[in-house]
Every structure is written in C-alpha cells, then in structure tokens.
Amino acid sequence: MKFYSLNYNSQSVSFDKAVIQGLAPDRGLYFPEDIPLLPQSFFEEINTLSNYEIAYRAIQPFVGKAIGKQKLRTIVEDTLQFPFPVVPITDQIATLELFQGPTLAFKDVGARFMARCLSSFNITSSKRKITVLVATSGDTGGAVADGFYNVPGIDVVILYPKGKVSEIQEKQLTTLGKNISALEVDGTFDDCQDMVKSAFIDPQIKDEIQLTSANSINVARWLPQMFYYFFVYKELKARQQKIVVAVPSGNFGNICAGLLAQKMGLPIDQFVACTNINDTVPVFLEEGIYTPKTSKQTISNAMDVGDPSNFIRIEKLFNNDFHKMKKEFKAYRFTDTSTRKAIKEIYDTANYVADPHGAVGYLGLKKFLNDFENENFYGVFMETAHPIKFLDTVESTLKTKIELPDQIKNIINREKESYPVADYKEVKDFLLSR
C-alpha cells in the first residue's frame, strides 16, 4: 500500500516511510492510495473471530509488505492487551469503553501500535535516533508517553498548552522522564499543533533530526482507531438493528477512522461527530464554509480544537462532495452546561459515571435518535477517557467521590518536570540542543 499527500506535492510512499515521516514534505497529511474492500464473508463470521484477528485483517492491507505478517500479528496482539466492553445505558443506547488501557484513554491503542511499528522500523532500518514530536490537548500526551516509554532508539517530545489540561493528564505526560520530555506552551492546543507542523518543514531540523509525529496526523496513530468500530459491530451484529455511533471529536482522527472502516464495508449505518463549543465542523456542515477558529477552553478539553487536522481526510473520504457528506455524516455541538447535565443524567439513569467527552457523545447520540426515532437505530457513544482524568468536573457534578484506579495511584504524587516555551523558536532551540 502506498500513501500520498493530501497537498498533492510530494511523492507517494510506503507505510513505513509514511509513519517515519509523519507529515509529508509538502506539509500534507498522508492518505492511502486505495481503500480496500473487505470480503462479505469477513463480516458474516466476525462474531466468531477474536479481536486480534479482526484487527489484523483490517490493518494488514494498509501495512502491506512494510511489516511481515507474523510480526504484524505480534504488534496487534501487544497493542490490544485490554478489553473494549460495550456497556448498556438504556434500551436504545450503549457506550463503548475505550479507557481500559494503561493511560485510561482511547489513544492508548494508536500510541501502542505506532510505538511498536516505529520500533520495528528503527531496529531494521534507522541509523540514527528518531524523535517523536507530538502536540496534545490532553490524552494524546499521556498515551504517547506511555506507549513510547523506554523504547530503544526513540525520544519523545510532547507539547501541551499551559493550564489547559487536567492535573492527572499533566502528571501522565510530565512525570516519566528518561526518553520523554514535556514542553509547556504558553498558548492553545492549536498553537502546539502549529509548532509541530512548523518543525516538520524546518530545513535545519530536517537536516539534523529524524523527526516524526505521534498525533493522529500520523497514519500509524490514525488507522488503528478503526478497530473500535469493528469491535462495536461484532458485539451488536446479533441485534439486527441499524447502528449509529456517536464520537466525541476534537482533531477528528477517531471518527475519521470509523468512516474509513465504513468505506471498507463495515455495516455501520451512521456516524455522528459530537463537539463542545469548538464547533468548526458543525458550523461547516450548516453553512458549507470551513472557517478555522481560535480554540476555547472547556471541561472536555481534549476536544478544544479550532482547526481539526483530520477533517481534510474526512473530506477526501467523501470525495469533497459537501452534499453527500451532509447527508451521511452528522455533527452537533454542546455547551459545558449541557455536558454537566448529561453526566448527571447518565448517572441517574444507569448508575454509570461518564467523563465529559463521553457525555458530549451521549448528547449527540440522543439528538440523532430523537431526530430519526422511526428508523430502528441502536446507538453507541464512545466513552473515550476514564472519568478520573476529569476528577474535579465529575465529582463536583455528581456530588460523589470516584476511586482512583491503580494507574493513577502510581503517578499522582510524582513531581512534574516540564520546560516552559513561548514560541516556535524556543521549541526549535530545545530540539536542536538535545
């Protein structure tokens, strides 16, 4: 499988080259030249297959010859070392828990998969250390830090916006040390993301550092997220209802992977993107004009993105046909006040504690089901992070205490270590000084 730049000014590359480069030389995101159509027999027997086998069959066409089949199976199995339960909330709604991994966030899958792929490439072909440069609005940083921690031949530099991630999220990305460094940016997530993109096209950095990114702009972070949607279908196939999946969306990598799975033949009928007041995509679907905005801080901080990088991939999946996208892809936005009400409603209804991002997904799902109540849909919203990561918000909303999971107990008292930066020059200086 070859991948090409969505800016169309760079050569197509193999999977391994796309992963190592992260971003194409023309600053475009990589996109597969072909979208494989999985055989109908795969979906007929999917409920008899292990998650490992499902994931392997889904990802292998994209990896191609870049990784041997047995090695890829091992990478997939190492990646998926935790469950993905579908938990009923009402007769018509369930949630898919994506927080059972080591950093309690859905990004564990992509980070673990990419780390293992990159390590393999590094061992076999790289002559110098690889630096993973990544921007985070909350959960990406922790997942990447854990996924790449102590991986030989790889350094990780994480940029995060000062004062705009939760205390626990900050602990996850600033307390590991060794090959993990955290830069505390005086700005927003979009500022962090712009700095990462600037580093990739900086000639001096390209000459001196072998740089890649672990944001969902990287195909090895983005593509494995499609596994979730195959797992959902496996669990719900027997219901013989139309399936709608609501996805809390910030940089839009997760839902983009779901739409890709749909193009591969996965029988999920509808996708709903759910945002907070950072509503660039919902406004686009209403007005037909894409207008990036400065991101605004909310209680669902991982979605505080004003210019989502992956939306260009979504446009490509719909062949830039606005009317087709508007028909097949819904997007709704919700305020912090509505989000808090949803957290309480879910708790009162099902005794289930949702995080703010999952609550936004729940709200979007409810709106969709209400709008299409006569079409026999069964809905799933993604619960993308453990509520403990948003302790103050959840406990103050529910007036109850949440027990700390072991993963958090292990880091909560560690000392934070980060480097303050104000602009791209300081980021560049840090990278070149290492």
| pLDDT tens readout for residues 291-318 | 999 989 999 988 999 999 999 999 999 9
Mean pLDDT value of segment 399-408: 89
pTM for the full model? Answer: 0.91
Whether residue 3 is contained in a domain is answered as no
pLDDT of residue 124: 44
- Tell me whether residue 165 is in a domain: no
**What's the whole-number mean pLDDT along residues 319-326?**
94
pLDDT at 123 over 80: no
Total number of domains constituting the chain: 1
Listed range (20-24, 100-104, 123-127, 316-320) with the worst mean pLDDT: 123-127
Instruction: Find the domain containing 320 and state its range.
Output: 82-106+225-403
- pLDDT at position 411: 86
Quick one: which of 68, 82, 378 has its CA closest to 245?
378
Q: Is residue 245 part of a domain?
A: yes
Give the per-residue pLDDT at 216: 87
User: Average of pLDDT values for 352-366?
Assistant: 98
192: which strand partners? none
CA-based R_g, the chain, Å: 20
Q: For residues 173 and 137, what is the distance between their CA atoms, to the nearest angstrom?
A: 11
Answer yes or no: is 171 within a domain: no
Domain CATH number, residue 344: 3.40.50.1100
Percent of the chain topping pLDDT 70: 98
Is residue 427 within 8 A of residue 199, CB to CB? The reply is: yes
pLDDT exceeds 80 at position 126 = no
Residue type, 289: I
Angle at 139 between CA 158 and CA 230, to 5 degrees: 125
Which among 268, 245, 317 has a CA at the least distance from the CA of 98? 245
Instruction: Please state, for a pLDDT cut of 90, what percent of the chain lies above it.
Output: 79
CA distance linking residue 255 with residue 274, whole number of Å: 10
User: How many angstroms separate the CA atoms of 358 and 299, rounded?
Assistant: 12
Please indicate whether residue 197 or residue 420 has the higher confidence score (pLDDT). Answer: 420
What pLDDT does 140 receive?
Answer: 83
Lowest mean pLDDT among 198-202, 250-254, 341-345: 198-202
What is the average per-residue pLDDT within 348-369? Answer: 97
Is residue 339 a part of any domain in this protein? Answer: yes
Sign of the dihedral defined by the CA atoms of residues 316, 318, 323, 327, in that order: negative
Task: State pLDDT tens for residues 5-64.
Answer: 999 999 999 999 999 988 898 989 999 999 999 999 999 999 999 999 999 999 999 999
Q: According to the model, what pLDDT value does residue 413 have?
A: 87
| Domain-located, residue 136 | no
Determine, yes or no, domain membership for 326.
yes
Which distant-in-sequence residues (6+ apart) come within 8 Å of 113 by Cβ?
75, 76, 79, 220, 221, 224
* Confidence class for position 215, pLDDT limits 50, 70, 90: confident
* Least trusted range by pLDDT, from 127-131, 184-188, 231-235: 127-131
Per-residue pLDDT at 122 exceeds 80: no
Can you tell me which residue has the tokens 């972070």?
Answer: 221
Q: What is the mean pLDDT of residues 247-270?
A: 97
Q: What is the per-residue pLDDT for 120? A: 85
* Model confidence band, residue 374 (pLDDT cutoffs 50, 70, 90): confident
Q: What is the mean pLDDT of residues 228-241?
A: 96
Q: Is residue 45 part of a domain?
A: no
Q: How far apart are CA 80 and CA 338, in angstroms?
A: 33
Residue whose entry in the numeric block shows the structure tokens 């086998």:
53
Q: Is the pLDDT of residue 281 over 90?
A: yes
Structure tokens at 158: 């994480």
Mean pLDDT of the residues in the chain: 93
pLDDT given for residue 206 in this prediction: 86
Show the tokens assigned to 329.
């892809």
Q: Residue 125: its pLDDT value, please? A: 47
Give me the pLDDT at residue 110, please: 95
